Amino acid sequence: MEKPPSKKGESFGRWFDWVLSEAEIYDYGRYPVKGVGVWMPYGFKIREKVLNILRNLLNSSGHEEVLFPLLITEDMIKKEGEHIKGFEDEVFWVTHGGLDPLDIKLALRPTSEVAITHMETLWYKSYRQLPKKLYQVVSVFRYETKATRPMIRLREVTTFKEAHTLHDSFEDADRQVREAIEIYSKFFDELGIPYIVSKRPEWDKFPGALYTVAFDTVLPDGRALQIGTVHHLGQTFTRVFETIIHKRDGSQDYGWQTSYGVSDRVIASLISIHGDDRGAILPPNVAPIQVIVIPIPGQSEDETDLVWRYASDIDNELKKSGLASTVDLDKERKPVEKYYYYEIKGIPLRIEVGPRELRENSITIFRRDTFSRFKARREELVGVVRETLSDIERNMKKKAWDEFRSYIRQVRTIEEAADIIATRSGIVEIPWCGKERCATEITEKTGASKMLGTPLEVRELGDLKCPICGEKAVTIARIAKTY
Amino acid sequence: MEKPPSKKGESFGRWFDWVLSEAEIYDYGRYPVKGVGVWMPYGFKIREKVLNILRNLLNSSGHEEVLFPLLITEDMIKKEGEHIKGFEDEVFWVTHGGLDPLDIKLALRPTSEVAITHMETLWYKSYRQLPKKLYQVVSVFRYETKATRPMIRLREVTTFKEAHTLHDSFEDADRQVREAIEIYSKFFDELGIPYIVSKRPEWDKFPGALYTVAFDTVLPDGRALQIGTVHHLGQTFTRVFETIIHKRDGSQDYGWQTSYGVSDRVIASLISIHGDDRGAILPPNVAPIQVIVIPIPGQSEDETDLVWRYASDIDNELKKSGLASTVDLDKERKPVEKYYYYEIKGIPLRIEVGPRELRENSITIFRRDTFSRFKARREELVGVVRETLSDIERNMKKKAWDEFRSYIRQVRTIEEAADIIATRSGIVEIPWCGKERCATEITEKTGASKMLGTPLEVRELGDLKCPICGEKAVTIARIAKTY
């Protein structure tokens, strides 16, 4: 077998393709349509676990799940000028039904602001019904002309969770933006995905938004990846769709909206950030299998049978205690082949039991995250497994954040920034005067591909100066090579 | 307020539109694309509950959930001649990305046999991997030119659960067809939806199938509705996609397949069959709210407050016991308005508590299915509610089946059949010689729109004769007016 590519640095892309395929998560590049992938059974389970965490966070904060149509008429999507300008190059158009041309072209949703606002106008008329928080998990379509990548840059994004909220004031929508940031922060925390929150610059906000706040993380090749966005939409869409709300004081006004979304990229980061050169490593809270029990054959058939029974009992006890355990009782594959198989798939904890463990009434525990092996008494099984799983989760999160923090660097000059971008990359924070012209020069001269934006919180800037114009810095700009 | 239409007979269609809209289940006809609907929050919850029952049945019988792309290339879909012939008039085509024409036309999936078989060829090579049972829950698209109807005849079917299985022999695929019939039977049983299982005639099978078995029910207007289909696909798709399986005996052969699906029509039947002129009635196992507690104000504010607390306690106790209970503490709406509101939504059980119940330490229970009201002691709360919910489920199922059985009629002559079809309709069983020519005449002369097919089980036919040609009947034909 060929040696798998290393996760770090230049080979990261090949490592990622390798792990998706070898772990049977996601089949990419073999389906005859460019930029789309297939969720295989194991990957689908991971996706469900991730989505369940998100759904719980949304449902418990008053969000309601809905399902809107995929197709949007050309009229609807062109109704808001900024919005269509942002999407017109990347919309897929349905033009024929059967052998007949359609009367009106239909877009495959690139996002659902217009579809949802259209219905909100019919559904919500009074402040009493607000705030209203809807969300859906759907496929969205973008005719990407750049190089596509599995889960990261797709033409069919199959795991688009988009929330759309309606409010009776600017302020309430603003509050909703903060709530959304809090929800996404909790969500990424549960997955152990580190992130930084930035206000996107004016020229890079969502088409139609007043402002956009984004979550970025850093992948193992040092490039930043946008993993979530939150938009204050103001009255952009409610004006053109005439969503009029009767307010508490008796007056009428267009509603105020926000929208926020995450995509398959969350799962891409989950796998990329936690994995290693042996394959995926899944946080226990999203692992379809948390514990794999592997029996090791004995000297005689009788002894082997006893070990097999011992392993099954352990598996049963774990299952009864509510853990997602599986025992691999296949006698035709060697333990080491099984180790390899479940390591690639990222099962966080392995229990090995052979004749020795049987004799000692013990278990051997192997941690996927640290490769450490230790023994425990059989009676301690459930307690030790639970503790170890918690520790794995904690450790994975800490490791991911330590790595991420090492990627965030503060500099004062273009040279320092350029040096970092050229070597380890990551996210560089540099003083900035706030002018778009200087931002363009900063990114160009440092080799960054994009300005991620500015911190939400106010920072003490002292006498820091914009490295381009030399004027007093009004904020910090975050720049990075991005996906 | 206008009187709602009656569920029975001619006004059924209007009743159905009314209940979907008033119960806030599904918004239809107001979205600017023909033949598509919007799942509103309450409807979405019902849909999830229904899907969870199905997912449990599928997962526990070795099915694995996956997610395949929406888009299928023209080449792929045209690869199998029979298949494309069956679908070519009703496929939506994507022809443009942004402002550019695409190199190759892309179909919105009308069903996924070709997409899935393409990948199966890459994934499965050996009998050891089989049988393989995959399924997905997705939107499928049909350019319907007939009149569209909410959930029943749609251009975007949003709740298409399609299973696709692969086997190493004809017999194993045949066994899978029986397993699928069993799974769907259990599924419909859990929902209390009555059904009849027929083998579709040769000329009405799925495009590409060896044979098709279908589940039909009868809606309140007497017309039959197909609610599920199971297909033995033979080697139709594996031949053209070259899905070659190494068999146990060392030989190679194309794989054998089945596919089976259900759609939004399941939820349409659930609501139509159980509902009444007051609205929906949901079986307790799929009701998003199983119990609604409604407090009735007292003579004084103090008394009202005590009742409100009494109601909240009841609600809490029910919630703690695992029941989906809600209490409506709104003081601005009258109890009778609340009754109306929750009756339309089909909440199966209501608890009314006022000053009298508070004094007596009792509860008043109202059953949505029978309109009966009775008292119970407060201490008996959880037990009585559980028992009543079980009884509601049993009663709803029995009622639905009794009604359904009254719709199935055996006749010997065209006149008898025509008379039934013209009046109460339903499903008519009539002796048949097996010739397509006679089937056509039978349906035409009786005013039926379709021959549903023949029973799966062998029947004693005695000297029954085909009413058209007079030859000895070889089977029973089921005919009906259908959707």
Q: What is the CATH number of the domain that holds B458?
A: 3.30.110.30
Q: Do B94 and A97 touch (CB under 8 A)?
A: no
> Counting one residue from A and one from B, how many pairs have CB atoms under 8 Å apart?
151
pLDDT digits (tens, 9 = 90+) for A388-421: 999 999 999 999 999 999 999 999 999 999 999 9
Nearest chain B residue to A118, by CA: B31
At residue B309, the pLDDT reads 98
* Calpha distance A5→B372 (Å, rounded): 70
CA distance A464 to B188: 70
Inspect the interface and report whether the beta carbons of B99 and A119 lie closer than 8 Å.
Answer: no
Which of A21, A22, A28, A31 best tests the B interface by mutation, with the highest count of B CBs <10 A?
Answer: A31
Q: Residue B9 has what pLDDT?
A: 85
Q: Which residues of B touch A91 (CB under 8 A)?
A: 97-98
Task: Quote the percentage of chain A above a pLDDT of 70.
Answer: 100
Q: What is the CATH number of the domain that holds A64?
A: 3.30.930.10
Contact state of B40 with A115 under an 8 Å Cβ cutoff: no
Nearest CA in chain B to A70: B156
Flag if A119 and B33 touch (Cβ within 8 Å): no
Residues A195-237: tens digit of each pLDDT: 999 999 999 999 999 999 999 999 999 999 999 999 999 999 9
Pick from A246, A274, A302: which residue ends a domain? Answer: A274
Classify B222 in phi/psi space as left (phi over 0), alpha (psi -120 to 50) or beta. Answer: left
Identity at B418, one-letter amino acid code: A
Same-domain check for residues B161 and B231: yes
In degrees, to the nearest 5, what angle opens at C-alpha B23 toward C-alphas A67 and B141? 35
Contacts of B98 in chain A (CB under 8 A): 88-91, 143, 145
Contact between residue B210 and residue B233 where contact means Cβ atoms under 8 Å apart: yes
Closest CB to A66: pick one of B32, B44, B141.
B44
In this complex, do B44 and A32 lie within 8 Å of one another by their Cβ atoms?
Answer: no
- pLDDT of amino acid B1: 56
Could you tell me the two tokens for B38? 């919007």
**Distance in Å, alpha carbon of A31 to nearest chain B alpha carbon:** 7
Give B224-261 pLDDT, tens digit per residue.
999 999 999 999 999 999 999 999 999 999 999 999 99
Same-domain status, A47 and A178: yes
Contacts of B396 (CB under 8 A, 6+ apart): B192, B274, B281, B283, B369
Closest chain A residue to the Cα of B29, Cα to Cα: A119
Percent of chain B's residues with pLDDT above 90: 95
Asked if B344 and B418 sit in the same domain, the reply is no
**Count helices and strands in chain A by DSSP H and E runs:** 14, 23
pLDDT tens for each residue of A77-88: 999 888 888 888
Q: Which residues of chain A does B106 touch, with a Cβ-Cβ cutoff of 8 Å?
A: 33, 92
So what's the pLDDT on residue B83? Answer: 85
pLDDT band of residue B476 (cuts 50, 70, 90) is: very high
B117 contacts: CB under 8 Å, gap ≥ 6: B164, B237, B238, B241, B243, B257
Q: Is A202 inside a domain boundary?
A: yes
Please list every residue in chain A whose beta carbon sits closer than 8 Å to the beta carbon of residue B122. Answer: 27, 30
Q: Is A122 a domain residue? A: yes
Structural domain count of chain B:
3
Dihedral sign computed on CA atoms, order B78, B83, B86, B91: negative
Q: Examine the fold and report which residue of B248, B274, B300 is the final residue of a domain before the chain moves on.
A: B274
A254-269 pLDDT, tens digit per residue, is 999 999 999 999 999 9
> Kind of pairing, strands A291-295 and A325-327?
parallel
**Chain A: closest CA distance from residue B128 (Å):** 13
Kindly state whether residues B135 and B262 are assigned to the same domain.
yes
Q: Which residues of B touch A95 (CB under 8 A)?
A: 93-96
Domain shared by B433 and B365, yes or no: no
In a domain, B436, yes or no: yes
Q: Which residues pair with A409 in a beta bridge?
A: A428
Inter-chain touch B31–A119, beta carbons under 8 Å: yes
- Per the domain annotation, does A2 fall within a domain? no
Same domain, A366 and A264: no
Whether A107 and A228 map to the same domain: the answer is: yes
Per-residue model confidence (pLDDT) at position A83: 86
- Same domain (yes/no): B440, B318: no
The answer to whether the CB of A468 falls within 8 A of the CB of A436 is no
- Distance from the Cα of A462 to chain B's closest Cα (Å) equals 47
Dist. CA A218–CA A220, nearest whole Å: 7
Closest partner residue to A70 among B119, B139, B143, by Cβ? Answer: B139
Nearest Cα neighbor of A284 from A191, A398, A382, A378 is A191
* C-beta atoms of B27 and A72 within 8 A: no
Residues of B in contact with A49 (CB under 8 A): none
Say if residue B133 is in the same domain as residue B51: yes
Classify residue B188 as exposed, middle or buried by CB count within 10 Å of its CB (0-12, 13-18, 19+): buried
Among A247, A274, A301, which residue terminates a domain? A274
- Mean per-residue pLDDT, B317-322: 98
Contact A68 B38 (CB under 8 A): yes
Q: Do A252 and A302 fall into the same domain?
A: no
Residue B2 clears pLDDT 80, i.e. is over it: no
Q: Quick check: A72 and B33 CB within 8 A? A: yes
Q: Do B37 and A93 touch (CB under 8 A)?
A: no
Residues from chain B that touch A40, judged by Cβ atoms under 8 A, are 66, 123
Average pLDDT, chain B: 97
Residue B400 counted as domain residue: no
Q: Which residue of A has its CA nearest to B117?
A: A31
Residue at A188 is within a domain:
yes
Q: Can you give the residue range of the structural domain that contains A33?
A: 12-274
Residues A265 and A371 in one domain: no
Q: Find out whether A250 and A96 touch, Cβ atoms under 8 Å.
A: no
pTM of the model: 0.97
Mean pLDDT of A86-99: 94
pLDDT for B145 equals 87
Per-residue pLDDT tens for B96-121? 999 999 999 999 999 999 999 999 99
Report how far apart the first and last C-alpha atoms of chain A are (Å, whole number).
Answer: 31
Distance from CA of A63 to the nearest CA of B (A): 9
Confidence of residue B139 (pLDDT cuts 50, 70, 90): very high
Q: Which residues of B fall within a CB distance of 8 Å from A89?
A: 98-99
**Contact state of B64 with A41 under an 8 Å Cβ cutoff:** yes
Contacts of A64 in chain B (CB under 8 A): 41, 44
Give the pLDDT score at A284. 98
For residue B332, the domain's CATH number is 3.40.50.800
The answer to whether B31 contacts A118, with C-beta atoms less than 8 Å apart, is yes
Position with higher pLDDT, A286 vs B459: A286
Instruction: Answer yes or no: do A32 and B96 touch at CB < 8 A.
Output: no
pLDDT of residue A1: 56
**Longest alpha-carbon distance in chain B:** 86
Buried b / exposed e over A411-429, threshold 16 CB at 10 Å, is: beebebbbbbbeeebbbbb
Residue B428 is assigned to a structural domain of this protein: yes
**Can you tell me the mean pLDDT for B192-201?**
98
Please tell me whether residues A40 and A170 are part of one structural domain.
yes
Min Cα separation A429/chain B (Å): 35
Per the domain annotation, does A279 fall within a domain? no
Instruction: Give me the mean pLDDT over the A460-473 stretch.
Output: 95
